Amino acid sequence: MAATIKDIKDMTGLSLATISKYLNGGNLLPENREKIEKAIEELHYEVNEMARGLVTSQSKVIGVVVFNIANVFTCTLLRFLGERFREAGYASMICDSQNDEQVEADNIRFLMGKKVDGLIVIPVGRTPEFLEPALRADIPIVLLDRSLKGSGFDCVMVDNRTASYQAVEMLCSYGHRRIAIIGSESEFTGRERLEGCLQLLKKEKIDIPPEYLKLGLHSIEHGYRSMQELLQLEVPPTAVFMGNFEIILGAVMALNESAFQCPADISLIGFDDLIISNLSNPRLTLVVQPLQDLADRAADLLLRRLEEGRGAPRAEDGQQQVMENEELILPALIVEGDSIKRCSE
Amino acid sequence: MAATIKDIKDMTGLSLATISKYLNGGNLLPENREKIEKAIEELHYEVNEMARGLVTSQSKVIGVVVFNIANVFTCTLLRFLGERFREAGYASMICDSQNDEQVEADNIRFLMGKKVDGLIVIPVGRTPEFLEPALRADIPIVLLDRSLKGSGFDCVMVDNRTASYQAVEMLCSYGHRRIAIIGSESEFTGRERLEGCLQLLKKEKIDIPPEYLKLGLHSIEHGYRSMQELLQLEVPPTAVFMGNFEIILGAVMALNESAFQCPADISLIGFDDLIISNLSNPRLTLVVQPLQDLADRAADLLLRRLEEGRGAPRAEDGQQQVMENEELILPALIVEGDSIKRCSE
DNA sequence: CTGTTAGCGCATTCAA
DNA sequence: TTGAATGCGCTAACAG
């Protein structure tokens, strides 16, 4: 149905090779160039990327595998990644792992079948087995936002630990000592943030009673329940650290339904996403991740690897070139709102 | 580098055809089946989709082109679409148009090059020219959330008009007559919603003074500015209709910064996204779109077209089969919160 | 049930 | 600068 270079050949009388050369930016007589352009125009010719890919065994496509596409964090990253890759002449092929390691593994295999040139991965779990097919294909991989066990991978992420440390530090600096944490132990970023919090509490010699430590999933549900429970406590906390967007959502929801006021009765600090702050009243004090930076660095790193790969894929003696893997840890920023009050107790 | 069926042939002694048959689910001797499976295992063989696609000229991939990936609405749809297609054995290739018609046109061309089997499109603009390459390739296309001029396309969208009509109707039923609208004329869904609002106002014989009609982009900025201006009016409105997620975001932000209280001083109703309601205090009354349904219907429709295409692509006389295009208009749902008060004036 | 053969659309030698 | 020939990895007849 669609036109091929053969149709162009028939139309112009030139050979396939000449046309191919035109397509790939070679030199030819202006006269022939014109002929070809005219034919392309008339036939609505477009390169068949499958055929081209079959020959060149590269696709000019980056595979982007995200743990969960249905959230703002991921989408924003996708936007920035896409822009960057587009500028560099690559298209991106986005796959959603739906928070399921099985689907994730399928995605990798799928993208290998599509012969993507490189991979950006926000992984679901912690183990790197699912990347086997990509490793075997020997294409560059950059992990985003989360690292993998054993590592050895290129990786760009946020310094969750330090940011959480500073967040709780801020609560302390306002005089709070009855501090609760709603977070997660089961999610990678959750664990890191938790550790940061606990580290500061330890340093400040603040004990956190078990009923103040609410660990579960990064879900609205968990945030909602936990906040409810905290508020019903005999001695409720004076301040709460909330570990991610969904938790904040649920927690603020529970708070709004209660008789408690923020910051009069309870102070809040949360991790993730500036949008929330604009909606809630009073404005939430937040730890905000540098999403643009995160995406740009990851894209640039992958693009660089792609470049390197083209240049000197292997050492002269035929040995696999051992490249140092790069780990970029970006700082998060605390944006102050009005959700923290000086604690008088 | 990667293994091919030829390697399997060398390993098993069977012919290419037999192996191909195995790959595509044909019948063969259990004995041979085992041999092949063993070889695949050992060689880590995976089908080269480019080669396969070159022959079959189909890719088992659906192209999904979204006007803007960086928002919750789009992401949620993407999640549901992805699930549906995956179940049906298709992968999805997501492209972000970044709200730019030029990029959108590139995306279509790109996906045609990739030989996708079908297309889901949430278009940026109103004119269908950019779809030319897809039309020429004669693959099924389903428009989502927005239709295109001249139409003739399969399309699944929300009944924005009726929903907006009912939203304003609700404000009226609470006795409001000084009603303001923050919306958009430049965006497709915005126009539809605006029309719905105006229609009801007309029916109720309510005049809307120009200073109550705030038209701009579907942006936080526009929502914020407009709400500020409304509140500074000599005679501010008693109720405000907000046309989409971003507008709500900005408007609520402005309201929170002001001395006005909702619903005491001003009643609110908004369009889009339930999440917002959980955050704001009091809970917002919202017109919520049936996202899951929207996505499922669109996916099903496309899948059905794909099926039809395989069955009888053309009539017997060789003429192009003229298929009726299908337009599904789904109703939106009003979810009541506490942001509307009876108006006493 | 299995093997042989041809060709999908293109890039890439190598000659001319 | 151009053209003829070859093969990328796979599927789809067809023949055995």
Residue B315 has pLDDT above 70, yes or no: no
Contacts of residue A70, Cβ cutoff 8 Å, sequence gap at least 6: A96, B75, B76, B78, B79
Range A160-185 average pLDDT: 97
Confidence class for position A90, pLDDT limits 50, 70, 90: confident
SS3 A308: helix
Quick check: A325 and A153 in contact, CB under 8 A? yes
Task: Check residue B157 and give its pLDDT.
Answer: 96
pLDDT at B312: 44
Which of B42, B83, B96, B261 to mutate against chain A (most A CBs within 10 Å)? B96
pLDDT at residue A3, as a whole number: 87
Task: Note whether A321 and A313 are within 8 A (CB).
Answer: yes
Instruction: Judge: A75–B76 Cβ closer than 8 Å, yes or no.
Output: no
Q: Does the pLDDT of residue A322 top 60, yes or no?
A: no
Find chain B residues with C-beta within 8 A of A2's C-beta. 136-137
pLDDT, residue A230, reads 98
Residue A197, SS3? helix
A342 falls within a domain: no
Pair (B284, B218) in one structural domain: yes
What's B37's domain CATH number?
1.10.260.40
| Per-residue confidence band for A318, with pLDDT thresholds at 50, 70 and 90 | very low
Do residue A264 and residue A168 come from a single domain? yes
Which residue gives the smallest C-alpha to C1' distance to C8?
A: B55
Backbone CA torsion sign across A123, A125, A126, A129: negative
In this structure, the answer to whether residues B279 and B130 fall within a common structural domain is no
Single residue among B22, B39, B56 that ends a domain in this structure: B56
Angle at CA A117, nearest 5°, toward A6 and A308? 115
User: Does residue A340 lie in a domain region?
Assistant: no
Positions of strand C less than 7 angstroms from a protein CB: 1-13
Residue from the list A76, A136, A279 with its beta carbon closest to the beta carbon of B276: A279
In the predicted structure, residue A316 carries a pLDDT above the cut 50: no
Has residue A200 been placed in a domain? yes
* CB-facing half-sphere around the CA of B174: CA atoms within 13 A: 24
What is the average per-residue pLDDT within B208-212? 97
Domain count, chain B: 3
pLDDT exceeds cutoff 50 at B313: no
User: Residue B72: which of A53, A72, A136 has the nearest Cβ?
Assistant: A72
Q: How far is A199 from chain B (nearest CA, A)?
A: 30
Indicate whether B34 and B73 sit together in one domain: no
Please give the biggest Cα pair distance in chain A: 90
Residue B87 pLDDT greater than 60, yes or no: yes
Chain B residues in contact with A227 by the CB 8 A cut-off are none
Q: Do B70 and A50 touch (CB under 8 A)?
A: no
Q: Counting Cβ atoms within 10 Å, is residue A245 exposed (0-12), middle (13-18) or buried (19+)?
A: buried
B326-CA/C11-C1' distance, Å = 43
- Tell me phi and psi for residue A107, to 5 degrees: -60, -45
Q: Output the pLDDT for position B299.
A: 98
Per-residue pLDDT reduced to its tens digit, B166-199? 999 999 999 999 999 999 998 889 999 999 999 9
- pLDDT value of position A207: 93
Q: In the predicted model, what is the mean pLDDT of chain B? A: 90
Q: Are residues A175 and A139 in the same domain?
A: no
User: What pLDDT was estimated at residue B314?
Assistant: 40
My answer on whether A297 and A270 are in the same domain is no
CB-based contact A98 B78, cutoff 8 Å: no
Is residue A337 situated within a structural domain? no
CATH of the domain at A201: 3.40.50.2300
Terminal Cα-to-Cα distance of chain B (whole angstroms): 78
Residues A264 and A295 in one domain: no
A93, A96, A275 ranked by CB distance to B249: nearest: A275
Q: Residue B11 belongs to what domain range?
A: 5-56
Q: Which carries the bigger pLDDT value, residue B10 or residue B269? A: B269
Contact A157, A147 (CB under 8 A): yes
Task: Say if residue A164 is in the same domain as residue A284.
Answer: yes
Other CB atoms within 10 Å distance of the CB of residue A52 = 19
Q: Which residue is nearest to nucleotide C7 (CA to C1')?
A: B55
% of chain A residues with pLDDT over 70: 96
Looking at residue A314, its pLDDT comes to 40
> Could you tell me what percent of chain B has a pLDDT over 70?
96
Which residues of B fall within a CB distance of 8 Å from A51? 50, 54
Q: Which residues of B touch A115 (CB under 8 A)?
A: 48-50
Q: Helix (H) and strand (E) counts for chain A?
A: 13, 12
Cβ A110 vs Cβ A54: under 8 Å? no
For residue B238, is pLDDT > 60? yes
In a domain, A10, yes or no: yes
Is B168 inside any structural domain? yes
Judged by C1' against the alpha carbon of B29, the nearest nucleotide is C1
8 Å CB contact between A9 and A16? yes
C1' nearest to CA of A30: which nucleotide? Answer: D1
Question: Per-residue pLDDT averaged across B26-39, rounded?
Answer: 86
Can you point out the beta strands (E) in chain A? 61-66, 91-96, 118-122, 141-144, 154-158, 179-184, 213-216, 239-242, 267-271, 285-288, 327-330, 333-335
Examine the pLDDT at A320 and tell me if it is beyond 60: no
Contact assignment for A49 to B137 by CB distance below 8 Å: no
Q: How far is the CA of B155 from the C1' of D7 (A)?
A: 44
Answer yes or no: is A336 within a domain: no
Same domain, yes or no: A282 and A176: yes
CB nearest to A79's CB, from B69, B93, B137: B69
Q: Are B50 and A86 an interchain contact pair (Cβ–Cβ within 8 Å)?
A: no
Would the CB atoms of A138 and B83 count as touching at under 8 Å?
Answer: no
Question: Are residue B19 and residue B71 in the same domain, yes or no?
Answer: no
Smallest CA–C1' separation from A21: which nucleotide?
C11
Burial class (CB in 10 A: 0-12, 13-18, 19+), A293: middle
CA–CA dist A156, A147 (Å, integer): 8
pLDDT for B317 equals: 42
Q: Average pLDDT, stretch B224-250?
A: 95
A145: phi > 0 → left, psi -120 to 50 → alpha, else beta; which?
A: left
Least CB–CB distance from B112: residue in A46, A59, A95: A46
- Please check whether residue B277 is in contact with residue B284, taking contact to mean a CB–CB distance below 8 angstroms: yes
**Pairing between strand B267-271 and B327-330?**
unpaired
Give me the pLDDT at residue B151, please: 74
pLDDT of residue B249: 87
Tell me the backbone φ, ψ of residue B319, rounded to 5 degrees.
-75, 150
pLDDT in tens, B35-73: 888 889 888 898 988 899 888 888 888 999 999 998 888
What integer is the mean pLDDT of A8-18?
88
Evaluate if residue A317 carries a pLDDT over 60.
no
Q: Which residues of A touch B69 (CB under 8 A)?
A: 75, 78-79, 82
Higher pLDDT, A228 or A91: A228
The answer to whether residues A119 and A190 belong to one domain is: no
B283: in domain: yes
Residue A11 CA and nucleotide C16 C1' are separated, in Å, by: 23
Gap from A317 CA to chain B (nearest CA, Å): 18
* B295 and B244, same domain (yes or no): no
Strand D bases with any atom < 7 A from protein Cβ = 1-14
